[in-house]
A and B are shown apart, each in its own frame.
Chain A
């Protein structure tokens, strides 16, 4: 295990959700069964763009075993049938138009899945085909067909002073973000060199193994959902608004989630299911196939054009960026992603001036939304590739070039924002050492194979923006405790980390603490399980709740003992006063009798709004991703083999170091897959590999020979100095590999994935 730091939590613990998961006892939403439950299936558009002329569901409704069928005609009767983050353009069910192959057109609830499938085949939809726009270029061309006739509901995301945030500024443009510092054009004009390069980023799917699965039950006034959604309270708010029902009549139950990576963040097909359950009058389960999951959400593809100025001795001066993200057919989380990609494009460097324009383009393809890295991946690929290109053009070693320009600890990322809180240079040095970068000499062409090394420092702001969370900690008469917080366990280790924070604060053994079941009736509100905020944000709320409980316990004990609370200390469910230890359990039994008493501690955290910060609040912490890669390239076939990957990330102070390592390694492999082969490919408006058989994700055999995660502990704002680390592994991998390929064979790939064919074409073009 590679740790460079001084965390409080040295001892290794078994994950609290572990025993359930290794015995098969763990219950996921996938396992939820309600008595009398029906099964739903969704009819999806076979066309990328079409007007829905008529839908005839009569044969489907007549099929024995079919209980209810819903279409856009049902959706349009809802008080507000649209959802999306900030900009709400996605209908609960397609109303007048299908906007991508896979768009949800109708849904059936039947006694079993087979009947539901048969019913789908009996639904007759008449379409009038419309011309689709399936690329950014097509969507932005003059006279391009428009995806939407009218403006969407919602408002542009509110950011800091002087930052541009526009909603639907131009045809087929969903939103736009603009940021400027100083006068970038003037600074560029005075720079010794200006380099303009364009990068293309691909779309991938989350491919969480647990499919999208939800169960809905509507009884009278109450709506209940058992959902795989990562953000139960955000979902509750959406359901409340869509169905015009008060939020306290809506109850969302969460279970373990079988993988999310952002794919299960924000509203998806849950409103559709509620609509169906209302009509059916019985509980309904909707479990999508992974094939359908591929047609539900992707990571944003995009084109990033960077115009960067530099002095002749390698000091960065200004960067003007134009970022076009392919948002797909519907908003989802594009508005937020645009902001974050735009903001992060400057990387971990110091700039005299910056001008950034980032926008999401609407195309007739699968909607793009939240994906681990959230724009930081796209930004890091472009920025860290160009940094290397510029260094090489100036004849400067890429390591030296980076070192010269890195932000120092304590320097604000941008004016008004928080200071960088990781030792960017120190981290790079460690990676360089472990990679063997200094010993490497680009090997003379040995036969047809060549080796090369590349470096990269990706970065993103972490913890969300102006984020908040609430928590309760209940301590039972026996000293056992329950943590009530709504950071949902998606595999990131929220269960153990948050329990450990509570246990440490209450001075209890870890196995006395349980992470409580999550349901919006009983669990305090959380803003969503994303942005790597579980430990730093929700964890802070948990720590404050545990501290509050501590205070109450000591007050109680002080009263019983006739002393002051500040004379007492809590330790393993006793209170110590000087040399005396007073066990609490008998004290409670004595005073209360009966069922005893629970100490309920309450905590909350809110990152303050600050209009002087570009994003409207200072970033809570910074999440760098240092990557060193070594590749071997076959000059005749173009095939790239990754020999070594050394990746560093900063946990602040690890609450559970083994979980930190797991998160980094998992993210890195996702990024590796996307760099070399994983892609949801389109031919025009048609996805060509939207099925698990054809959509290749990384397997164990794809691991590099040498693979090392290094967890730095530079300190952070969370409990005991923690940060968040879940997304870090994604950020720098693609650019490090591109840089290594360049080092090996002298060709620059600016488009991912680096398929054998692309690499070979680049090699041939250069000679």
Chain B
């Protein structure tokens, strides 16, 4: 159906993004309404991790017992995303597919190294790492997002400086030691951006956190120049990437020990 609709066609989930685009003059002539596909609104246990249907709303992320148990930081952060209206209607799938750097769920998906399932026009399902986001609509219809085992993942979110910059940090933990991680940055670039952080530390001491922060800063230097726009300059954003990385590594460090 989507292929038939061509350029004037679009999917509609919660409608938050698409209605705005229409009001600003985008000529959408056909809309494929996904609201009736209730199976896409399910949250299921993968035995350690979670599978979130693409039509899961932000409100479900905030309130679902399973999410709160497995990924408490995610649920807590989601309590503050947008506002209650948008959280009730907006979907995490719509949020990701809008590819708006100011939107939050892509950051969570990247930091967690989630996998995104797409249903292609050929009927096949492809699973794509969240870290490889780019040219999303080429993959087809997003049907679900799989978060990995919570036992081995620690998440931190920092939205205190939006709309200059937002940050999601995901650390992989094994036997009390961090064996890798990712940082995802929003608001600062034209699209959400993620970076691998090859941290290998117990993160239990101040010195370890400091070393991890330096490593993170050095890797962040490889990121392209942030945007300068009405909210903040590239310079400020660059400075804040470093500050927020250090602060959130310290926060996670405390949590791991």
| Residues of chain A lying within 8 A (CB to CB) of residue B164 | 756-757
| Residues of chain B lying within 8 A (CB to CB) of residue A688 | 229-230
Query: Does A241 belong to the interface (CB within 8 Å)?
Result: no
Query: Does B44 belong to the interface (CB within 8 Å)?
Result: no
Q: Which chain A residue shows the least CB distance to B239?
A: A760
Q: Which chain B residue shows the least CB distance to A688?
A: B230
A694 & B230 in contact (Cβ 8 Å cutoff): yes
Query: Does A609 belong to the interface (CB within 8 Å)?
Result: no
Q: What is the predominant secondary structure among interface residues of chain B facing chain A?
A: loop
Query: Does A681 belong to the interface (CB within 8 Å)?
Result: yes
| Residues of chain B lying within 8 A (CB to CB) of residue A757 | 164, 232-233, 236
- A681 and B230 contact, Cβ closer than 8 Å, known pairs A637-B240, A637-B243, A756-B164: yes
Query: Does A639 belong to the interface (CB within 8 Å)?
Result: yes
Q: What per-residue 1/0 map shows which CB atoms of B220-245 lie under 8 Å from chain A?
A: 00000000011011001001100100
The winner among A636, A637, A693 for most chain B CB atoms within 10 A is A637
Expressed in whole angstroms, the minimum distance between the Cβ of B237 and any Cβ of chain A is: 9
- A637 and B230 contact, Cβ closer than 8 Å, known pairs A693-B20, A757-B236, A760-B236: no
B243 & A636 in contact (Cβ 8 Å cutoff): yes
Expressed in whole angstroms, the minimum distance between the Cβ of B15 and any Cβ of chain A is: 15
Q: Which chain B residue shows the least CB distance to A760?
A: B236
Expressed in whole angstroms, the minimum distance between the Cβ of A114 and any Cβ of chain B is: 12
Expressed in whole angstroms, the minimum distance between the Cβ of A203 and any Cβ of chain B is: 13
Q: How many residues of B contact A (CB 8 A)?
A: 12
Complex CA gap A693/B19 in Å reads 13
| Residues of chain B lying within 8 A (CB to CB) of residue A683 | 230
- A689 and B161 contact, Cβ closer than 8 Å, known pairs A636-B243, A757-B236: no
Count of A-B residue pairs with CB < 8 Å? 25
Complex CA gap A693/B21 in Å reads 12
Q: What per-residue 1/0 map shows which CB atoms of A669-686 lie under 8 Å from chain B?
A: 000000000000101000
| Residues of chain B lying within 8 A (CB to CB) of residue A694 | 230
- A637 and B20 contact, Cβ closer than 8 Å, known pairs A681-B230, A757-B233, A760-B236: no
Q: What per-residue 1/0 map shows which CB atoms of A738-766 lie under 8 Å from chain B?
A: 00000000000000000111001000000
Complex CA gap A639/B233 in Å reads 15
- A639 and B230 contact, Cβ closer than 8 Å, known pairs A693-B20, A757-B236: no
Q: Which chain A residue shows the least CB distance to B160?
A: A639
Complex CA gap A757/B229 in Å reads 12
Complex CA gap A756/B230 in Å reads 13
Expressed in whole angstroms, the minimum distance between the Cβ of B161 and any Cβ of chain A is: 6
B161 & A756 in contact (Cβ 8 Å cutoff): yes
Complex CA gap A621/B229 in Å reads 44
Q: What is the predominant secondary structure among interface residues of chain A facing chain B?
A: loop
Complex CA gap A760/B165 in Å reads 15
| Residues of chain B lying within 8 A (CB to CB) of residue A693 | 20
Complex CA gap A683/B229 in Å reads 10
Q: What per-residue 1/0 map shows which CB atoms of A684-718 lie under 8 Å from chain B?
A: 00001100011000000000000000000000000
Q: Which chain B residue shows the least CB distance to A696?
A: B163
| Residues of chain A lying within 8 A (CB to CB) of residue B229 | 688
B240 & A689 in contact (Cβ 8 Å cutoff): no
Complex CA gap A694/B231 in Å reads 10
| Residues of chain A lying within 8 A (CB to CB) of residue B161 | 637, 639, 756
Complex CA gap A500/B192 in Å reads 57
The winner among A689, A694, A755, A757 for most chain B CB atoms within 10 A is A757
| Residues of chain B lying within 8 A (CB to CB) of residue A639 | 160-161
Complex CA gap A693/B98 in Å reads 15
Complex CA gap A618/B59 in Å reads 59
Expressed in whole angstroms, the minimum distance between the Cβ of A655 and any Cβ of chain B is: 36
Expressed in whole angstroms, the minimum distance between the Cβ of B257 and any Cβ of chain A is: 20
Complex CA gap A689/B161 in Å reads 18
Q: Which chain B residue shows the least CB distance to A757?
A: B236
Q: Which chain A residue shows the least CB distance to B237?
A: A757
Complex CA gap A683/B202 in Å reads 48
Complex CA gap A733/B137 in Å reads 48
Q: What per-residue 1/0 map shows which CB atoms of A629-646 lie under 8 Å from chain B?
A: 000000011010000000
Interface residues of B in 155-184 (CB under 8 A from A): 160-161, 164
Q: Which chain B residue shows the least CB distance to A636?
A: B243
Complex CA gap A608/B150 in Å reads 77
Q: Which chain A residue shows the least CB distance to B24?
A: A691
B230 & A689 in contact (Cβ 8 Å cutoff): yes
Q: What per-residue 1/0 map shows which CB atoms of A515-534 lie under 8 Å from chain B?
A: 00000000000000000000
Expressed in whole angstroms, the minimum distance between the Cβ of B54 and any Cβ of chain A is: 24
Complex CA gap A683/B230 in Å reads 9
| Residues of chain B lying within 8 A (CB to CB) of residue A681 | 230
Complex CA gap A636/B161 in Å reads 12
Complex CA gap A636/B243 in Å reads 7
Q: Which chain A residue shows the least CB distance to B246?
A: A636
Expressed in whole angstroms, the minimum distance between the Cβ of B20 and any Cβ of chain A is: 7
Complex CA gap A760/B235 in Å reads 11
Expressed in whole angstroms, the minimum distance between the Cβ of B80 and any Cβ of chain A is: 9
Complex CA gap A681/B231 in Å reads 10
Complex CA gap A509/B239 in Å reads 64
Complex CA gap A689/B230 in Å reads 8
Expressed in whole angstroms, the minimum distance between the Cβ of B77 and any Cβ of chain A is: 15
Expressed in whole angstroms, the minimum distance between the Cβ of A645 and any Cβ of chain B is: 21
Complex CA gap A688/B230 in Å reads 7
Complex CA gap A701/B161 in Å reads 15
| Residues of chain B lying within 8 A (CB to CB) of residue A760 | 236, 239
Q: What per-residue 1/0 map shows which CB atoms of B184-208 lie under 8 Å from chain A?
A: 0000000000000000000000000
Expressed in whole angstroms, the minimum distance between the Cβ of B76 and any Cβ of chain A is: 16
| Residues of chain B lying within 8 A (CB to CB) of residue A755 | 232
Expressed in whole angstroms, the minimum distance between the Cβ of B248 and any Cβ of chain A is: 13
Q: Which chain A residue shows the least CB distance to B229?
A: A688
Interface residues of B in 113-164 (CB under 8 A from A): 160-161, 164
Q: Which chain A residue shows the least CB distance to B240?
A: A637
What are the 5 closest A-B residue pairs judged by CB atoms, nearest first?
A: A757-B236, A681-B230, A688-B230, A636-B243, A757-B232
Given contacts A681-B230, A688-B229, 16 further A-B contacts (CB under 8 A): A637-B160, A637-B161, A637-B240, A637-B243, A683-B230, A688-B230, A689-B230, A693-B20, A694-B230, A755-B232, A756-B164, A756-B232, A757-B164, A757-B232, A757-B236, A760-B239
The 25 sampled A-B contact pairs (Cβ below 8 Å) are: A636-B243, A637-B160, A637-B161, A637-B240, A637-B243, A639-B160, A639-B161, A681-B230, A683-B230, A688-B229, A688-B230, A689-B230, A693-B20, A694-B230, A755-B232, A756-B161, A756-B164, A756-B232, A756-B236, A757-B164, A757-B232, A757-B233, A757-B236, A760-B236, A760-B239
